[in-house]
Chain A
Amino acid sequence: MRTTRRTLATTGFLLAAGLVVAGCGSDGDSTDTGSAEAGGEGSSYDVYALLPQGTDQPYGTTYLPPMEEEAEAQNIGLTITNSQYDADRQASDCQVAVAAQPDLIILWPAVGDTVRPCLEAADAAGIPVTVTNSDVNPEDKDLTAGYSGPDTYGQGASSAEIMCELADGEEIGILVVNGLTGNSTAINRRDGFVETVEADCPNVSILAEQPGDWNKDTSQTVTSEMLTSVGADNVQGIYAADDTMVAGAIDALKARDIDPEPLHITSIGNTELGNPLVISGELDGTVFQSSSWDGRNAVVVAGQVLNGEEVTEDLFMPSVKVTSENAEDPEVAPEW
């Protein structure tokens, strides 16, 4: 009995202490992140942003501040969720968002094939949904009010065009490192790259492809494995779906004492990791993706819809090719 009382007393004390700290912490966090509860004071509109990443990823870390600044400028109260690329979690976040009855939902799909129930629930509740970064499937577009973000298929195609120019008609074999399996951006970039290569430069053969999961270490591992599998001497090029992974692929080459400069290596992103590689000559070309543009325009399009404008066309981020010729230009300064 004394043990039970002691247990309950200790439990109660620790919980109370923890929750006091938590209460102070959550007040501070709401202010620090710039997000506000739905129905926050002074906001013209309340918007939920259902994102699959945030400060846990480099892109998200530089995507969020411009998004929050634009929201503040438009007097929009923004509540941001992060499902960490878990489709079930995002579906649950969507249910929470619909229950909160915001004026609009900004959706960045974790997995494009699984968002239709969320779109239908929002539609049934009369809540417009705009999409950012990764577009929904064509058959689901009628349930959305607008899209802003990269043309992910076009990014893959642009990277393939750089590869085709570099190959210049020569028969070469390349390795492909894809993004996170099942992710819409990964699928679209891969399709854009592969289909463009097949159409424009069939002299370029894909010897092997593996997912690098948007992770540098994973990319280094799978690249090394592919080099072993196909024979390093047979590889004249590498394409990776983003700069983080191409950095890992280049490290894999260096670990085998293979000089990356003679190889044809392309990727997407023009990040703080990739841009120096282009300048140094280890990376031959990349495609600029601006996280700040992405975050800011997610709210711009949302604001247009909230103000009654009809958004008839997708707002695509310019896909600027970055090579040694323009890598140091201020217009393509890396952001993430």
Chain B
Amino acid sequence: MTEPQTLSLGDTAATDRAGRLRAVLSRRTEGRAVVLLAVVFVMALALEPLVFTAYEVTLGRVALIGLVALGLTAVILMGELDLSVASTLAVSGVVMASVPNIYAGIAAALVVGLLIGAVNAFFVVKIGINSFIATLGMLFVLRGLAFVLSGEQPVRLTNIEAGIAFGRPLVGPVSPRILLFVLVFIALQVFVTRMRVGREFYAVGGNRQAARDAGIPVDRRVFTGFMISGFVASLAGVINTLELTAADPTAGGTVLLASFAAAIIGGVALKGGRGSIVGTLLGALSLGTIEVGLTLSGVQVDIQQVFIGGVLLIAVITDPASLREATANFRLFRRREPEVQS
């Protein structure tokens, strides 16, 4: 009996276990986010250790940035965009505060988020409008709606004490915001990695036609993704309104860009088909730590934005796809140089 022949693939096939580990790691998209997070943590430890001793504050900032980013990731994985998340946050908060009964208000706000997600998906799937345009329009519509419903003024909760109680830590330093953020992370991580419906998001984002040909109900998946994004944005609006004891129709001003930044830093590709919920979490951790560290260091917010913009640019530049394209263009340029000189 002959020995089974093994193809030699260089170092990758040197040992089975090492090779398998390398194969798994090479498929992960969170590499850059892990490196960035490590650098951020080291810098924070050296320059502003209060970021870690007051970790509940840092976690609160991470949850503020990351919650909407998690929901947004579900949409971006399918190659779509949802620019209406900040306005959804605002209008949901106003709806919640406008209802005298706090529990009914929360339910109403979450239903509003689901409806907004469904409307966005309707425009994208049934009408065929590009998601950037559709959700950009909804951004303005919903913001105007928030102003109309609130009478252009902040709307205070009927039960302010309930709101203040919500903002207090539950167990140790863990506040309801942090707890809900962790629960949403777990739920979405399980959804996109363990459930067929969630895993199909990658197929829809990777190659939509191939997904259709494979029998995946693409339209239904897009609806699901947008409704997840809308629901999570409305949940963020509920949390903000409870913690602040009032709904501000101008709320969410800094949420949209920060959420996209967290997802991109975490390795989520805007074209879809690549990225992970874990990556978004890592991106939010990095951004939150940077922001808190810079605030504690007394750095002005406009300088903070330079830092955050720089981190975002580095994340985009070091994206493997971008690097491959840049390398290919550089090689092409080098090959053409002798032709130009002659």
Contact residues of A with B, CB < 8 Å?
A: 1, 3-4, 6-8, 10-12, 14-16, 18-19, 22-23, 25-26, 29-30, 33, 35-38, 54-56, 79-89, 91-93, 95-96, 98-100, 111-114, 116-117, 120-121, 180-182, 187, 211
Contact = CB atoms under 8 A, between A and B. Distances in A.
Contact of A113 (B31, B64, B152, B156): B156
B340 interface: no
B252 A81 contact: no
Contacts, number: 178
A18 B310 contact: yes
Given A26-B294, A93-B295, A99-B54, A86 B253 contact: yes
B298 A79 contact: yes
Contact of A117 (B25, B61, B154, B244): B244
Interface SS of chain B: helix
Contacts of A1: 11-12, 22, 26
Interface SS of chain A: helix
B245 A181 contact: no
Nearest to B255: A88
B64 A14 contact: no
A15 B254 CA distance: 24
A11 B320 CA distance: 10
Contacts of B248: 87, 111, 113-114, 182
Given A1-B11, A113-B154, A99 B57 contact: yes
A11 B296 contact: no
Contacts of A88: 64, 240, 244, 251-252, 254-255
B35 A92 contact: no
B195 interface: no
B56 to A, nearest CB: 8
Contacts of B32: 7-8, 11
Contacts of B64: 88, 92
B299 A11 contact: no
Given A89-B253, A182-B150, 5 more contacts: A7-B32, A15-B314, A88-B252, A92-B61, A117-B163
B230 interface: no
B122 interface: no
Interface in B50-82: 50, 54, 56-57, 60-61, 64
B250 A84 contact: no
Contacts of A85: 250, 253
B279 to A, nearest CB: 14
A25 B303 contact: yes
Interface in B280-301: 292, 294-301
Contact of A15 (B35, B154, B163, B320): B35
Contacts of A4: 25-26, 31, 320
B264 to A, nearest CB: 14
A120 B39 contact: no
**Minimum-distance CB pairs A-B, first 9:** A99-B54, A114-B244, A113-B154, A113-B246, A82-B301, A35-B298, A79-B298, A99-B57, A86-B253
B104 interface: no
Residue of B154, B245, B323, B324 with most partner-chain A CB within 10 A: B154
A91 B243 contact: yes
A55 B324 CA distance: 40
A48 to B, nearest CB: 9
A58 to B, nearest CB: 14
A267 to B, nearest CB: 20
Given A3-B320, A14-B317, A55-B300, A117 B249 contact: no
A96 B302 contact: no
